[in-house]
Structure 1
Amino acid sequence: MGNIKLGLNLEFARYENGSFDWAMDQAAEIGYKYVEPMVHWGRELLSAAGYFHSRSMLDDPLILRNAAEDRGLSISSLSSHAPLAKPEVAVEYFRQAIRYAAEAGSPMIMVDDGPTPSWTTEEENYTLMRYTLKEAALVAEPRGIKIAIETHGPYTATPERLDRIMNLVDSPALTINLDTGNSYLSENDPHEWLEAIIGQVTHLHAKDIALDDAKRLRGKVRGMLGCACGEGVIDWKRIVDTLAAADHDVVLSVECGTLDAAKKSYTHLSALIEAVGQ
């Protein structure tokens, strides 16, 4: 039996106009042991001014590592999304993110299918995504870094389409981050989906969708920040039971829209994890 590691994606800071350090402080104060920071290329004014939580990959990665360690936190993944079917952007972005992750102490990076070129066919997009993932895997494998493909866009919107992406490249570096909220919004049953692919899942975005949002937006959008876990449509006991039965560790990383939701999610999920003996 593997361990369920409860973490917090720092996206909640976006609606609080919070900085990276503020978000890390809040995660530690609430009681989370794992965090999922965002990284970006170049320089970005809002982050530099303290109104956004992302860190530039031009900064020393030890800043991020030390920020986690000083607060008793571990990094579960780096949120480093770039469009898989646009290798002119994604290949170098992922290469840098993987090297950055290795120094920052993150075991994986988070990616998704993202927007595709406006002029390519579906088959061409799969070829482009294969190229991107292969180039990323060549950098990730020798460093022991995982590439977690998140359920987020049209090419990861169903179990069949995600499976096709996972089979584009034969690499031990490829793994899955199932986003429960995004999966639900794409008109799937995330509980059944997780149960079917648990062997490939090492990271899970614990995202709940409020009932009103579910009624309005399911089938119309594929992603949004969630409400507090336990206040929406997801059966978290079933999710936790599935993770507890896995033969490997999985990070359950809360992705919600506010600090209050992060606190409520911690309370709700901690009780369920404790109930399964972890």
Structure 2
Amino acid sequence: DDPLRIRRACEKHGVKLSALSSHSQLSKPEIAVEYLKQAARYAAECGAPVINTHEGHKQPWTTEEEDFVLIRYSIMEAVKVCEPRGIKLGLEMHQTYSLIPAKYDRILNLVDSPVVGANFDTGNAYLGGEDPIAWLDRVKHRLVHMHAKDISVEQSEAERGKVMGTAVGCACGDGVIDWERVIAILRPLPQDIVLSVECGTLDQAARSIDHLRKLV
């Protein structure tokens, strides 16, 4: 759609866009580069301050070092379009490398740019087998956006340590994530961070907002 049309509709109804989901495979530049360039231009016109992405699935015919060269190339090309427009590039933990904190740090530091930062997903971090609170504290100064995703006990027991994240979780406050500690980490930060709720139903979204507002 026309980004200016989206912008006008948002302004008319008092809606602020927090980010664009621009997920593409950074390890496949033939896909990621032009997609992210277009996303950055679209974000600038529609009024979204952040575009989010991840590194993508591991290909069987590349080595890890080759993958990081490809990822760096894609990020660098995206940054060249993001920087002059003031658009942040949020890197999410959602795939092979980024669900390992040390390798996620490496991805964050592949390109030295003030627009590159973390789109932290609490649910993905947890399902990957990590402590999301400790990990959030580790990258808090690189945050540009957050996916507020809770994970039910049932999903945790079935999937933790077995999957590379999930598209949606349960209502915030109904699952295993300690939102009081999440907010305690975010509150002192100098930058404003949007908590973008990712859940499965409108009812879950409403309950998530109610729960988070009590803590903020």
CA drift of 1:61 comes to 0.5
Contact persistence 2:50–2:145 (CA under 8 A): no
Q: Which has the higher contact order (CA 8 A, sep 6+)?
A: 1
Q: Name the amino acid aligned to 1:190.
A: P
Structure 1-normalised TM-score? 0.76
Aligned: 1:272 with 2:215:
yes
Structure 1 ranges of 4+ moved more than 3 A: none
Partner of 1:56: none
Partner of 2:123: 181
Q: Number of matched residues? A: 215
Partner of 1:246: 189
SS at match of 2:180: helix
CA drift of 1:67 comes to 2.2
CA drift of 1:117 comes to 2.9
Q: Name the amino acid aligned to 2:125.
A: S
Contact persistence 1:181–1:206 (CA under 8 A): yes
Once the two structures are superposed, residues 122-177 of structure 1 have per-residue CA deviations (whole angstroms, 9 ceiling, x without a partner) of: 11100000100000001111111100001111111121011100111111110101
Partner of 1:168: 110
Structure 2-normalised TM-score? 0.97
User: What are the within-5 Å matches in structure 2 for residues 170-249 of structure 1?
Assistant: 170-224=112-166, 225-249=168-192
SS at match of 2:97: helix
CA drift of 1:222 comes to 1.8
Q: In 1, Cα distance between the equivalents of 2:171 and 2:179?
A: 11
User: What are the within-5 Å matches in structure 2 for residues 1-278 of structure 1?
Assistant: 59-224=1-166, 225-273=168-216
Partner of 1:36: none
Contact persistence 1:86–1:117 (CA under 8 A): no
Q: In 2, Cα distance between the equivalents of 1:245 and 1:257?
A: 30
Alignment gaps of 5+ in structure 2: none
CA drift of 1:79 comes to 0.4
SS at match of 2:163: coil
Partner of 1:276: none
Query: Aligned-pair RMSD on alpha carbons?
Result: 0.9
Alignment gaps of 5+ in structure 1: 1-58, 274-278
